Amino acid sequence: MEKGFSNNKVKNDVEIKELKKGKKGLAAFLKGKKFTYTLPGKKQINIFGSIVIGLNIILILLVILYLKNQEFHDFVFNVGR
């Protein structure tokens, strides 16, 4: 057996033509539509950035509370059951 590419033709042309025939479902619905992507503005970037940073701070505080406070640790442990 030789290594590398073979000179034999692959007979997948029928499968490829079947895929190109017609689009169904969401693809057919979106066929004629043209979507454009616009970059978010400065205000939107600041809002999302503030939300992400705020949630990260809350997560860090909850982890510290979980590690330092035994009552909170027991509460999380019991609720998770």
Render pLDDT for 49-78 as a digit per residue (tens, 0 to 9): 999 999 999 999 999 999 999 999 999 999
pLDDT-derived band at 9 (thresholds 50, 70, 90) equals low
At residue 55, what is the residue type?
A: L
pLDDT in tens, 19-57: 556 666 777 777 777 777 788 899 999 999 999 999 999
CB 23 within 8 A of CB 33: no
3-state secondary structure the chain: CCCCCCCCCCCCHHHHHHHHHCCCCHHHHHCCCCCCCCCCCHHHHHHHHHHHHHHHHHHHHHHHHHHHCHHHHHHHHHHCC
Distance of CA 33 to the CA centre of its chain: 23
Global confidence as pTM: 0.52
